[in-house]
Chain A
Amino acid sequence: MSHQLPAILFLLPLFAAISMPVVCLKHRHWSHPIAVAILAAMVLVSILNLQNVIHHGEVRYVFSGWTVPLGIEWVADGLASVIIVLLNAVCLLCVVFTGPTSPKDLGGRIVHYYTLILLLVSSTTGIVFAGDLFNLFVFLEVAAISSYALIGVAGGRALFAAFRYLILGTLGASLYLLGVSYLYAVTGTLNMSDMVDKLPLLLNSKAVLGGLLFMFIGLGIKMALVPFHSWLPEAYTYAPDSISPILASLVTKVALLAWVRIIYWVFNASSIINDVPILLLVEVVGTLAAVIGASLALAQRNIKMMFAYGGISHIGIILIGISQGNPTGFAGGVFYLLNDSVMQAGLFFLAGMAFYQYGVRTIDDMGRVGKQAPWLTGSLIVMALGMIGLPPTGGFFGKWYIILGALEAGNYVSVAAVLLSTLLTLAYFVRLFEAIFSQTSTRLDVQSGEIPLSFKLTLGVTSAAIMILGLFSSPIIQLLLSQALPPTL
Chain B
Amino acid sequence: MADALLAVLQRPNFLTFVIIFLWGFYIMVTRYNLVKKLIGMYLVQTSVIFFLVSISAKKGATLPVLLSTTEPVQAASYANPLPHVLTLTAIVVGVATTGVGLALCGAIYRKYGSLDEQEILEKLE
Q: What residues make up the interface of A, taking CB atoms closer than 8 Å to B?
A: 134, 137-138, 141, 144-145, 148-149, 152, 155-157, 159-160, 162-163, 166-167, 170-171, 173-174, 177-178, 181, 184-185, 190
Contacts and interface: CB of A to CB of B under 8 A. Distances in A.
A177 B48 contact: yes
A459 B124 CA distance: 32
A170 B48 contact: no
B104 A163 contact: yes
Contact of A155 (B82, B86, B100, B107): B107
A155 B103 CA distance: 11
A155 B111 contact: yes
A173 to B, nearest CB: 8
B101 A163 contact: yes
Given A149-B100, A166-B104, A171-B41, 15 more contacts: A138-B93, A148-B100, A152-B103, A155-B107, A159-B104, A159-B111, A160-B124, A163-B101, A163-B105, A163-B108, A166-B97, A167-B41, A174-B44, A178-B48, A181-B51
Q: Which of A159, A171, A185 is packed against the most chain B CB atoms within 10 Å?
A: A159
Contact of B48 (A155, A156, A159, A181): A181
A153 B55 CA distance: 39
Contact of B96 (A134, A145, A152, A171): A145
Interface string B57-86: 000000000000000000000000011001
17 contacts: A141-B96, A148-B104, A152-B104, A152-B107, A157-B124, A159-B107, A163-B101, A163-B105, A166-B101, A170-B45, A171-B25, A174-B45, A174-B47, A178-B51, A181-B83, A184-B82, A184-B83
B86 A134 contact: yes
A357 B120 CA distance: 30
A141 B111 contact: no
Given A157-B124, A171-B44, A174-B44, A166 B100 contact: yes
Contacts, number: 82
Contacts of B25: 171
A167 B27 CA distance: 12
B89 interface: yes
Chain B: interface residue count, which band? 20 to 34
Contacts of A137: 90, 93
Contacts of B111: 155-156, 159
A155 B112 CA distance: 11
Interface string B24-68: 010010000010011001001101100110010000000000000
Interface of B: 25, 28, 34, 37-38, 41, 44-45, 47-48, 51-52, 55, 82-83, 86, 89-90, 93, 96-97, 100-101, 103-105, 107-108, 111, 120, 124
B28 A171 contact: yes
Contacts of A162: 104
B90 A145 contact: no
Contact of A167 (B37, B47, B55, B86): B37
B37 A134 contact: no
A178 B90 CA distance: 11
A111 B3 CA distance: 60
B52 to A, nearest CB: 5
A120 B45 CA distance: 22
Contact of B100 (A145, A160, A171, A184): A145
Given A159-B107, A160-B108, A167 B28 contact: yes
Contacts of A173: 93, 97
Contact of B52 (A138, A155, A163, A177): A177
A128 to B, nearest CB: 19
Complex A-B, nearest 8 residue pairs according to Cβ-Cβ distance, in ascending order: A141-B93, A181-B52, A185-B55, A163-B104, A174-B48, A178-B48, A174-B44, A159-B108
Contacts of A145: 93, 96-97, 100
B54 to A, nearest CB: 10
A181 B55 contact: yes
Nearest to A181: B52
A145 B104 CA distance: 12
Contact of B89 (A138, A149, A178): A138
A159 B108 CA distance: 6
Contacts of B48: 174, 177-178, 181
B44 to A, nearest CB: 5
A141 B97 contact: yes
Contacts of B82: 184, 190
A247 B39 CA distance: 27
Contacts of B104: 148, 152, 159, 162-163, 166
B48 to A, nearest CB: 5
